[in-house]
């Protein structure tokens, strides 16, 4: 088990592999929402987590398209 932490997992660069970022994004947005709200309100935190996750994913897609456009234009 310890050896699994010393050898990195091979993740390819195809578009399907980037879907692994979605669970990480949702968890980070959930933690941020928990830190911002002093009182735990389940439905409100869920709504805000979904909204923040969608906004962050949208920004990530927009930046990816911009970078793709720049690379295609200059190469």
Q: Give a three-class secondary structure readout of the chain.
A: CCHHHHCCCCCCCCHHHHHHHHHHHHHHHHHHHHHHCCCCCHHHHHHHHHHHHHHHHHHHHHHHHHHHHHHHHHC
What is the distance between the terminal CA atoms of the chain, rounded to a whole angstrom? 44
CA angle 15, 16, 18 (to 5 degrees): 70
The two tokens of residue 61 are 């897609």
- pLDDT for res 70: 94
Total-model pTM: 0.71
pLDDT tens digit sequence for 23-57: 999 999 999 998 988 788 889 999 999 999 999 99
Proportion of the chain above pLDDT 90, given as a percent: 44
pLDDT at 6 over 90: no
């Amino acid at each position: 088990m310890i050896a699994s932490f010393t050898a990195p997992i091979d993740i390819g660069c195809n578009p399907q592999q980037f879907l692994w970022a979605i669970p990480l994004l949702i968890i980070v947005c959930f933690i941020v929402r928990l830190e911002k709200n002093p009182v735990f309100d389940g439905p409100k935190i869920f709504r805000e987590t979904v909204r923040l996750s969608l906004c962050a994913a949208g920004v990530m897609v927009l930046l990816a398209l911009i970078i793709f456009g720049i690379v295609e234009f200059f190469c």
